[in-house]
């Protein structure tokens, strides 16, 4: 690892950005530990310590103080206090997925598992979240924040996982196969794919149509090419 050891890693995404997939891959690495999508609100550094303690209680066999604590965050209301990002032992990976498949997948997910979201509601959530993530990236140095197009994660997993491994300065690279956990399918992604234990390329299940979401595509491109 780097001379300043990483203690915290946030996967900052949006709904259906494959944040649960990446979190599972990360937590399958021997240096990392976490509870999936905890839905914690990190108002202060004390909250980071609280979540570390909560993780320890559920993972008593873990050599806790040598691990990187991982959490995934997909909502603006859950995004940590910006002051926390000043910590030099914290890094984040921002995941972004194009608006067409994201909005379609959000609508399908909420229809099956929650109260259905309309196209307008899904699109507004996506726009608001992407705008927030752009502002977040603008304030962080490149060695603290990495932006990934999640379609590339499933199309060229080895390339992207090597890129993430390099960003995290890992001596042992990440693998595309991953473990399942007691929270798999209940915390974060509830779909069947997350239980497969491997990356599934579902990036072509919908034809991309930039004319349908022009403003959203501008936000997406702005973020992934920052």
Dist CA 48 CA 50 (whole Å): 5
Contact between 183 and 71 (Cβ < 8 Å): no
Residue 60: per-residue pLDDT? 66
Cα gap 127→216, rounded to integer Å: 6
Question: In the prediction, which pLDDT does 3 show?
Answer: 46
Per-residue confidence of the chain (226 residues) as pLDDT tens digits?
A: 344 688 999 999 999 999 999 999 999 999 999 999 999 889 888 889 888 888 888 776 666 667 899 999 999 999 888 888 888 899 999 999 999 999 999 999 999 999 999 999 999 999 999 999 999 999 999 999 999 999 999 999 999 999 999 999 999 999 999 999 999 999 889 989 999 999 998 776 555 566 789 999 999 999 999 9
User: What is the per-residue DSSP string for the chain?
Assistant: --SS---EEEEE--TTSSHHHHHHHHHTSTTEEE-SS------SHHHHHHHHHHHHHH-TTS-GGGSEEEEEE--GGGSPPGGGGG-TTEEEEEEE--HHHHHHHHHHHHHHHSSPPPHHHHHHHHHHHHHHHHHHHHTS-TTTEEEEEHHHHHHSHHHHHHHHHHHTT-SS---SB----TTTTTSS--SGGGGGSB----TTSS---TTTSHHHHHHHHHHHT-
Burial per residue of 128-140, b for 16 or more beta-carbon CB atoms within 10 angstroms, e otherwise: ebbeebbebbeeb
Q: Give the chain's end-to-end CA distance (angstroms, integer).
A: 25
CB atoms < 10 A from the CB of 71, how many? Answer: 24
**pLDDT at 54 (0 to 100):** 86
Best CATH choice for the domain 8-184+211-224 from the list 3.40.50.10490, 1.10.260.40, 3.40.50.300, 3.30.479.30: 3.40.50.300
- A 10 A CB-CB count for 226 gives 13
Model pLDDT, residue 189? 93
Rg for the chain, CA atoms, rounded: 17
Note the pLDDT of residue 173: 95
């Amino acid at each position: 690892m780097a001379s300043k050891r990483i203690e915290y890693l946030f996967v900052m995404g949006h709904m259906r950005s494959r944040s649960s997939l990446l979190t599972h891959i990360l937590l399958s690495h021997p240096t990392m530990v976490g509870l999936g999508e905890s839905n914690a609100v990190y108002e202060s550094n004390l909250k980071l310590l609280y979540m570390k303690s909560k993780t320890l209680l559920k993972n008593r066999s873990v050599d806790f103080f040598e691990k990187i604590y991982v959490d995934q965050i997909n909502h603006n209301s859950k995004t940590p206090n910006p002051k926390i990002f000043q910590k030099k032992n914290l890094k984040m990976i921002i995941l972004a997925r194009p608006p067409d498949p994201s909005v379609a997948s959000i609508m399908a997910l909420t229809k099956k598992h929650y109260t259905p979201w309309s196209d307008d509601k899904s699109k507004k959530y996506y726009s608001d979240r992407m705008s927030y993530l752009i502002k977040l990236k603008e304030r962080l140095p490149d060695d603290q924040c990495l932006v990934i197009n999640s379609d590339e994660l499933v199309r060229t997993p080895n390339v992207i996982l090597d890129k993430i491994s390099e960003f995290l300065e890992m001596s042992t690279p990440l693998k595309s196969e991953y473990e399942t956990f007691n929270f798999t399918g209940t915390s974060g992604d509830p779909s069947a794919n997350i239980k497969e234990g491997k990356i599934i390329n579902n990036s072509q299940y919908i034809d991309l149509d930039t004319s349908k979401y022009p403003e959203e595509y501008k936000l997406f491109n702005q973020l992934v090419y920052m």
